[in-house]
Structure formats: C-alpha cells, structure tokens
Structure 1
Amino acid sequence: MIPAPVPARDHRVRDDGWHRLVDAVRESGQYRTRAEAESVTRIVLSALGGHVVGDERVDLARALPEEAARVVASQIPATRRLTAAEFVDSVAPRIEGATPATARWDVSSVLSVLPDLVGDALVTRILAQLPAGYALLFGRAELTTAE
C-alpha cells in the first residue's frame, strides 16, 4: 500500500497564528499599529529564547506559531541567567525609544499573552527554570512560601 502524500503546510495557517499572536500583543499593550506590536513581539521573544533552555525551549517552540517558534529557537542560549529586572533592562535598548518603564510594559505585553497561547502548564515549567520575578512579567502573581 502506498502511503498518502503528506499535505503541504498551508502558510496561511502559520501567518494566521502569527497574526493572532501579534494582535493579542497589540491589544494587551495597546499599541497603535500592528507593525509596532510585531516589532515588540519579535524583540521580546528573541530575548526570551536565549533564556529558556532544554525541553521547555523545545516545547515552547512547538506551541508557538511557526514564525514565533523560529524567533525563539534561533537564539543562542544565554551564558548568564538574568533576573527579571536585568531581562527587562536587556530588552530596553532593542526597542526604539524605550525607557526602563516602557520596556517593562513591552515585555509584559508579550509574555502575558503566552499562557493563553501555550498553556499554563508550560508557562509554569518555564518559570521554574527562570529566576524569581519573571512570573509578574507573564501576568501571574509571584507567590512565595512563608518561612
């Protein structure tokens, strides 16, 4: 029996997923244009891609639309773990006209849409490998245990 041909991947599906992600970021961050939201999305995902490693990075890339997956997966892993504040500070120079406050807004605007897109379980795994403080960037409360 001859196996059925594998259908070609419909690039409109990829584009639709990417556009839905950018539109979610645009709404979350209240950006004026799709281009602005797309730029911020690419910058933040590329920064995140350097800090998420191992199975979590692979699973994140699988869960994202193809274009976003490429942005994440193409990054060289960071040699030093950054605190959440250092992460935001590292993103600020990449965004035209950003200040530390606007960079935090931009990072949160992108990362806070990821749980709905990739699932809470994966975000929990990603947060487990990042230093404390990142949960707030993903739109979650940072809970600590009482000592």
Structure 2
Amino acid sequence: MVMRWEAFLHQVKERGDYETTREAERAARTVLALLGAHLVGEVRAELAARLPESLALVLLNPLQAREPLSPERFVRATAAWIEGATEQTAAWDVSAVLSVAADAAGDELTRHILLQLPAGYDLLFGHPHPV
C-alpha cells in the first residue's frame, strides 16, 4: 500500500522534530535521493511503489554514487546536500526519513533493502537487528 504524501511528511516532521513541513520535505528528498543510488532492481522499485509518487521519483532518479557509502559516509553526504546541516543534524534527518521509509516498506522489504546496503544501516532505519 502506498503511503500518502501528507502522512509520510507528517511522520518525518514528527520524528525529525522539524518546525515546518518544508524542512521535513527537504530531508526526505535528500535522503531518498542518496538511498536510491544504493538500491538496485526489484528492491528499489518495490520501495518506490510504497512511497508517495513525488518521493518515489526521487528514489528512482537518484544522485549518483560511485561506491556504496558506509552509514557514516551516507550521513556526511546528507550533511553536504542540506544547507546548514552538520553531521549531527544530518544523522537526525537520515534516521527520521529512513525510519518512516521502513514503516512504509514493511519488515520483509526492509530486510531486503538492508541486504543491499553496507553493514550498519539497520540503525539508521530504526531496525537495530541482525538481518
């Protein structure tokens, strides 16, 4: 089932403790663009199918990554793309967005997503469990 735009952003806003929906949207677009560069094939398509359409397009047309980023480098890359962000605020942004994406994906798809990513992303998705 596709998560509605308003519901997705509301949850990101709440989890990220953002003052405005615009801040939540900026974080969502940045994090999903970076995530899209790390996912391939069916897994990326399945996650996109569960996201609001405009965020699905961001995931499917990602920023290009030359190599898979470790969780720490993913957070640093997010900080570089969000104006005024620090690594600490970017870690907050990443966790807020990826935990909502994990909710939209469900447990089984989240497991498949984590299998495509370097070790340690489970914490960013709010699923600190061995895969």
| Superposed pair shares fold, TM > 0.5 | yes
Q: Which residue of 2 aligns with 1:48?
A: 35
Please give the alpha-carbon distance, in whole angstroms, between the structure 2 residues aligned to 1:36 and 1:95.
10
Q: Give the TM-score normalised by the residue count of structure 2.
A: 0.92
2:125 corresponds to: 138
Unmatched runs of 5 consecutive residues or more in structure 1: 1-13
Question: Do residues 84 (structure 1) and 91 (structure 2) align?
Answer: no
**Structure with a larger share of its residues in helix:** 2
Count of residue pairs brought into register by the alignment: 130
Q: Give the 3 Å change call, closer, same or farther, for CA 112–56 of structure 1 in structure 2.
A: same
Q: What SS class does the counterpart of residue 19 from structure 2 fall into?
A: coil
Larger RCO, structure (CA 8 Å, separation 6 or more): 2
**Which letter does structure 1 place at the counterpart of 2:57?**
R
- Which stretches of structure 1, 4 residues or more, deviate above 2 A after TM superposition? 76-79
Provide, for residues 80-104 of structure 1, a one-character-per-residue CA deviation record: whole Å limited to 9, x for no partner. 1111111111110111211111110
**Do the aligned residues in 1 keep the contact of 2:16 with 2:93 (CA within 8 Å)?**
yes
Structure 2 stretches of 5 or more lacking a match? none
Percent of counterpart pairs with the same letter?
47
Letter paired with 2:90 = A
TM-score, scaled relative to structure 1: 0.82
1:128 and 1:102 map into 2 onto residues whose CA distance is 26
